[in-house]
Structure formats: structure tokens, C-alpha cells
Structure 1
Amino acid sequence: MKTYKKLLRNVGATLGAGALAWLAVGGISPSPAQVPSSAMAAVADEGPGYAIEDFGYPNADRILADRGIKLKRGDGHITLADCASATDLLEVWSRANDKICFRVTGTTGWLTMEIPAVFAVKGNGYTTRVDMTTGTEEKTFDVNKNAWTPVGESADELGRDFMLMEIRTSG
């Protein structure tokens, strides 16, 4: 008897849901002329805006003010890290900012920034490339995995200052 009652309850719930769906699709709703415009305006004004990802680095203004590091945009797979927080970090050495560390996650990542006077990068387990500029000249350096790589002024015959502009990684 319990099974029969349970079956009737399920059938009733299904029929009720179907009837509600039919009413909604069947157009038995108030027409826009029947809804006061103030009600529609209030709902439109109170609704949340669209979430549009601009890939801007979170708290970039605060990081610039606190540490002098200008982080611009990224995909979230390369993030600024405390150098003492882990061992498998990318280390960027700059005469202007000393050592700056980045945590890398995911299979690929990118981060744009402006870090002046960069002269060395210590790679981690990821394949890494860095884009740098000096004046109007742009150079790309492949970073050795788990080893130090001279970049910027230490790899330049003229010893010019280079600004780190982008880090790209892949698994």
C-alpha cells in the first residue's frame, strides 16, 4: 500500500509540474500593458550588472603603492607570491625591487607587468618565457627550468636596463 501511495504522489507532482510549465509557456502571464512601468523600472534598476572579465590584476593599485610592482593583466595562473611561501616559485631579480616571486598554476599562464631593471629570472618546473623592453627594443628570453637565467642587462652586450613586461608559462 505504501508503494501505491508513493506512486500516486509522484504522478501528482509530475502532473502539477507539467501544468505549471504549460501555463508559463502558454502565455498566461500579464502583458506588459498590465504591469506598471514603475515595477519594471524598479526591477531593472535593482538587478545586478553584467560581470565582464577584464583580466585586470586584483589589488594592482595597492601592490604598486606597497611594493612598487606594477601588475597589469593576467589569466590568474601566475600570481604574486611571498618568496618564503613555497619552493617551486618563479623568482625575478630586479635592481629596483630586489627579489619578486610568482606562483604558477595550471597548464598555461600569462601575466603582464612593468618591473624595471630586471637582470635574472630563476625558473621553476614550467616552461617560461619573459618579454622585456629597453627603449623601443623588445626581447624575449627563454627561462631555464629550475635554474637561473641571465636576462635583461646581464644578457645584453651593452648592459642596458630592461623592463620586464610579460611572463608566459606552459606545463
Structure 2
Amino acid sequence: MKTHTARTAQAKRTRPLARALGAAAVAGALAWLATTGTGTGAGVTSPPQAVAPVADEAPGSVVEDHGYPHADKILTEKNIVLKRGDGHITLADCAGGTGFLEVWARDKSKICFKITGNGGWLTMEIPSVHLIKGNSYATQVDMTVGTEEKSFDIAKNAWTSVGETVDPEGRQHALVEIRSTK
């Protein structure tokens, strides 16, 4: 008889706790239904909300096109056509430091490029390039004259004559690509 009385007393003590937990679970479920607008039971007064698309078009491509940022602005301000690159060779202010790759063109004088990381590449169109000063990177440039394409290795930390200065006919060459490696 004592065992039966102990069990009854224990059950009487746990019933209020179970009721409180059950009531809290029901209240939480009703609150969740009310905020999501999906409930249809009593106490839920908000009607289901219609879902509308955020944008009319599909998201843009996540593929990098390697287009040079602000190329239009650079063309307008400096008359330099910068096309594509990997971001490791960038146009720099020649007065802003040292260690730049310096490109000399007849009508633009000095144009500087900063190279970062283990190297990079950049395509462009700079006419009448005749001299390039290398930096600490191993650098090659591609130039065009008419339909011909010529490549030049640029000496590290030294001046290299390119284009018309090494062409037997003295033709003006356009710089079209820079490639550098550490």
C-alpha cells in the first residue's frame, strides 16, 4: 500500500508541470502559425500572404569576365584602352610609389602599372609604345604593328627598347598585352 501511495503522490506533483509544458508548446505553435500566416485554426486572424517574385529577371552571371573596372572612365580621362585582366596588373599613378612597370608611349609619355601577387596579365591598346622599364617581375609584352604581332621580354629593373626603336622600318607598335610572373 505504501508503494501505491508514493506513486500517486509523485504523479500528482508532475501533472502540473506536464500541463504547463504542454500549454507552452501549444502557445508556441499558435504563435508560429500566426506569424507565418499559414494557420487556419482558431485565433489566427491573418490571411495567407501571396508570394511575389523579388526581381523580374534571373540573377546575373557569377562567372568573372575579367573586364577592367572603370575602363570607360580611364579611356575618357587618360585616352588609354584597358580591356581585360586578372586583377594583378593595374594602372597606377607614377608619382604614387616605386617598383612599377613603366611604359613610354610617344603621345602619352609615361604610363605606370602595378603588379601584385605572383604575377598576372592585362590586355590593352596603347599606341606608339617605344620603351618599357621592368620591375622585379619577369615580364613579357605583346605588341602589334599592322597585322604582325611581336613579343618582347622586358629586362628586370632595367630599360628595354621595344616597338619602333627596334623595328628596322621604324614602324609604330601598339602595346596589346602584358604578362608578368614572380
Does TM, scored on the shorter chain, surpass 0.5? yes
How far is the alpha carbon of 1:101 from its aligned partner?
Answer: 0.1
How far is the alpha carbon of 1:157 from its aligned partner?
Answer: 1.0
Alignment of 1:3-152 (within 5 A): 39=51, 42-43=53-54, 45=56, 48-152=59-163
Q: How many residues align?
A: 136
Distance 1:160 1:130 in 2: 17
Distance 2:91 2:157 in 1: 18
Distance 1:74 1:116 in 2: 19
| Letter of the 1:78 counterpart | I
How far is the alpha carbon of 1:46 from its aligned partner?
Answer: 8.2
Cα RMSD of the aligned pairs, angstroms, is: 2.1
Q: Which runs of no fewer than 5 residues in structure 1 stay unpaired?
A: 1-29, 31-35
How far is the alpha carbon of 1:60 from its aligned partner?
Answer: 0.3
| Letter of the 1:115 counterpart | I
How far is the alpha carbon of 1:45 from its aligned partner?
Answer: 3.9
| Letter of the 1:131 counterpart | D
Distance 1:47 1:164 in 2: 38
Distance 1:54 1:46 in 2: 20
Distance 1:162 1:104 in 2: 23
How far is the alpha carbon of 1:52 from its aligned partner?
Answer: 2.6
Q: Which runs of no fewer than 5 residues in structure 2 stay unpaired?
A: 1-37, 39-47
Residue of structure 1 in register with 2:3 after alignment = none
TM-score by length of 2: 0.70
How far is the alpha carbon of 1:165 from its aligned partner?
Answer: 0.2
Distance 1:105 1:49 in 2: 28
Larger radius of gyration: 2
| Letter of the 1:124 counterpart | N
How far is the alpha carbon of 1:108 from its aligned partner?
Answer: 2.0
Per-residue deviation, residues 52-74 of structure 1 (Å, max 9, x unmatched)? 31100000001001001000000
Per-residue deviation, residues 45-103 of structure 1 (Å, max 9, x unmatched)? 48853433110000000100100100000000000000011110000000021100000
Give me the identity figure in percent.
Answer: 62
Residue of structure 2 in register with 1:7 after alignment = none
Residue of structure 1 in register with 2:16 after alignment = none
TM-score by length of 1: 0.74
